[in-house]
Structure formats: structure tokens, C-alpha cells
Structure 1
Amino acid sequence: MSNELSSKMRAYMAEIYRLLDRQPNPSENVTSSQLADWLFVSPPAVNRMVNRLSELGLLVHQPYQGITITERGKLEALKHIRCQRIAEAFLVAVMGMNWLTVHEEALRLSDGLSEAIVQRMFEMTGAPSVCPHGEPIPDAQGALPPVRDEFLSRIGAGSKIRVSRLITREFDRLQYIEALGLVPGQACEVIHVAPFDGPMQLQLGREFRIIGHSLAQLIRAEVVS
């Protein structure tokens, strides 16, 4: 199947997977307009590509019900995401690039790389299990390791947590999250969560942070106690 897909098709599959993965409701589909906004392309262009990918059995697109990804489609997406995340890790660990800005460079670098080159980059980077943003790296067969994290926005007061990954690649948001200290691996405690999707208060050591609901939806964390 991979040989039938153009680099543009593989990139679409990867972005559709990422968009679905960041939905607070795992069973929620995405719409063509959401995908167009996410990719900064026109709705007609999205519809044409979605129809082609649906014909290949990689997507299911039902009018008024949105787009979802098939198991075959998920496999193709994860194989491409593996290349992207290894490229990110390589650019940061080996090339010394800033993790805040590495995503777009990794997209360009990973396009067209052979599996042999990807595997060598993986080895040179120290066989990382996650990318610089904390996202798990699929194996060569497209399988992901089990993850037990949750959107920070869904974690209740009194929970001690460890930030696991960030699901945004937008520079301004990543920069702000880094300034707050909420980078992957950071331990903290949820002190208070305001009702009705209000802000939440976190404690990092002796310092406190208050973040809004929309920002908390870009951070995933594991509850450690």
C-alpha cells in the first residue's frame, strides 16, 4: 500500500491522524472544514484528497458525519509519523536545533527518506522512545507503545502528575508552555480546577501556575498519584 501513496497522500494521512489524536473525545470525527483550517488549504482541495484516500480504503467520509481513519489508514499514517518524529529527534539531538521550531524542518527532511536512513537516524539519536515534544515514536511496523496519559484539562484537583507530551506544534504556544515550565517530564500537582471549563492552578515545586482550559487541552499528562 505504501508504494501506492504519494508523499502528499502520506502527509495528509499523518495530519489527519494528528488531528484526530488531539480531539478531547476519542470517538469524535473531524470535518472537512476542520482539516482545511488545520492544513491551511482550501476546502475543495481537502475534499478531493479525502475522496482519493477514501477510495483507497484509508479513510471513511460520510456526509454530515465527518472523516474517520480506517485501520489500514492508521497504519500508513503511523509509518509516516515515525519518520517525522525520528527526524525531529535527530535534528534536536544530533544537529542541535531548537525543539520549539524543529517540526517544520522535520516535515521537509522526512519526506522521501528510505527506511534504512530513518533507522540509521534513529540509532544515531540513541533509539528514542519519544520525539522532543514527548509524542511516542511508532516502531517500523507502525505500532505505537501503550500510553496511559490524559488531557491535562480532564485531570482533577489533588492529582500529582507528570507532563508526558504536547500536542501542538505552534511556536507561540510551545514557547509559552516552555516559559511556564510545563515541558515533557515536568512533575507538578493540580491544586484547583475552576468549574465550567475554567482555569486550573498547578504547583511546580514552590511555584504556582494558572493556565486556561484551551491551553490545558494542548498538554497531556500521566497521573502518578
Structure 2
Amino acid sequence: MTELWAHTLTWAEVDPSRHPFELDEDAAKTLTGLVAPLLPSTEVAEQHRGRSLVAVTEFLVDRYGRWACGWNWSIGEGDTDGGIVEAWCCTSHSVTTAEETAPSVVAGLLEWRDWLEDLAERFATLAPPSHSTGVTADPWHWERACTRLVTVVADRTQAESGWYGHCEQVLGWFLAYNGVDDERAGEIAEGAIGGRFGSWISPDATVVDAVSSKFAGAMGETG
């Protein structure tokens, strides 16, 4: 199941430039029709919850790539804790009839993809000069990037249950975008947050500043 768990996605697996994706209105209708037969009944969904959607997720991943497993990473305590998707709540509430549910699956996929593309644009804007020149970056660049990314993730997740997990992931993705290997990127992001964030609590400026300072300091040591 790890391969279907959005929490484990790496930047290489979600980077829009590596995984082209287009879904116009006609293609969305076609996809909706393909998804519908894979959906569980309400009874099965109630009994098995997130596991009842494995067939849907496997289909999307096979069709588009592993990035697509985030289609139902909803805000708060959904099928996967602490995401950004609003089109999908959770199996127990979102699964009704196949005809009603399939469009929500497609909407969730599109919302997740839009978020990944938004992040890619932010990463390009926030990348320090060293991303392209090889020159050691001023710590300010890393602090600024961390502050802005934490802020946008807190906003998109509504700082709901488990939001800090995706925040840590996004910070790691940003470092991977800038050439840091995944393992080291994860260590830096985890160390910077260091338990300072909590569920249902939007971090105040002082906490964000502390995390950003730690983040920049770790990058200085890496450089």
C-alpha cells in the first residue's frame, strides 16, 4: 500500500514537468465513466473505508503516474490525514452512487494536480540563485522560501488535522527541486519543524520564523 500513499510521494514522482497531464472537458467525462465501475457501494465503503478505494487509486496511478494517488488527500481527517483536496471528504461521506461519486474523484484529481503545478511555480520563484548558477545561496533565500511555503501549506490545508505532515513534505520537495537528495531533504525538513506545529493550530509568525531559521541553518551546513 505504500506506493498508493500520498505521504510518501517524492518530488520526482509529482514534478509536473516530468509527468505531463491534460484533461479537457471531454477527457474528464471519459475518465468519469471509467472510474464509475471501480467505485464501491456505500455498504462496502462504510465497512472498508479507504481500502475500498484501492481499485480507483490503482487505476489512476497506472494511467497517469504515482502522483495521482493524492486525488483523495482531503483536508482534515479524511481518507489520508492533512491534505489539501476539498472536492473529496472521506469514503464514508463522499461515496454515494457511482454516478454521483465518480465526478468527485475526477474533481479531486484535478484539484491535486493544480496544487502540484502551483507548487512547481512557487518553487521556481523561490529558488535561490544557486539553483541555476551553482553559487552558494544566501541563507535569506532559504528562510524566505520556508516562510512562504509554510504559510501557503497552512492556508491550503486550513491547518487542520495532521497538516504539518504535508508541510514537511512540501519543504522536502522544495529542497529536492534545488538538488538536495531526498533523504537529506527529508532530514532537513523534519528537523526544521521539530514538533513545533500541531493539528488545528495555524502557526504564528514567531513559530514560523523559528522553523525558517532552522531550515536555513541546516542548508548552510549542507552547503
Q: Same fold (TM over 0.5)?
A: no
In terms of fraction of residues, the more strand-rich structure is: 1
TM-score (norm 2): 0.29
**When you count helix as a share of all residues, which structure comes out higher?**
2
